[in-house]
Amino acid sequence: MALYDLERGEKINTYYNKNYGVDLVRFTHHNKCILCASKRDSHYRIMYWSLHDNNILCSFIGHTDSITAIDLNPSDSSFLSCSKDGTTRVWEYQKKQCLIKFNKSRTACFDNMGKLLACLFVKAGSGGYNDQQEGGAQSLDQMIHLFNTENYKDKPFATFTIENETKEIKSMKFSPNGKYVLLGTR
Tens of pLDDT, residues 5-30? 899 999 988 877 677 778 898 988 88
Cα distance between residue 137 and residue 16, in whole Å: 43
Cα distance between residue 178 and residue 52, in whole Å: 34
* Average pLDDT estimate for 79-91: 94
Q: What's residue 132's pLDDT?
A: 43
Of 173, 63, 39, 43, residue with least CA distance to 129: 63
* Average pLDDT estimate for 148-158: 87
Confidence of residue 136 (pLDDT cuts 50, 70, 90): very low
- Between 127 and 105, residue with greater pLDDT: 105
Cα distance between residue 164 and residue 174, in whole Å: 21
Find the radius of gyration of the CA atoms of the chain.
17
pLDDT at 125 over 60: no
pLDDT at 133 over 70: no
Cα distance between residue 41 and residue 22, in whole Å: 14
pTM of the model: 0.83
- Between 151 and 90, residue with greater pLDDT: 90
- Between 110 and 56, residue with greater pLDDT: 110
Q: Could you give all domains of the chain from N- to C-terminal order, each with its CATH number?
A: 2-185 (2.130.10.10)
Cα distance between residue 133 and residue 118, in whole Å: 25
* Average pLDDT estimate for 88-95: 91
CA 53 to chain centroid, in Å, comes to: 25
Strand segments (E) across the chain: 2-5, 10-14, 23-27, 33-40, 43-50, 55-61, 67-72, 78-83, 87-92, 97-103, 105-110, 116-122, 142-148, 158-162, 169-174, 181-185
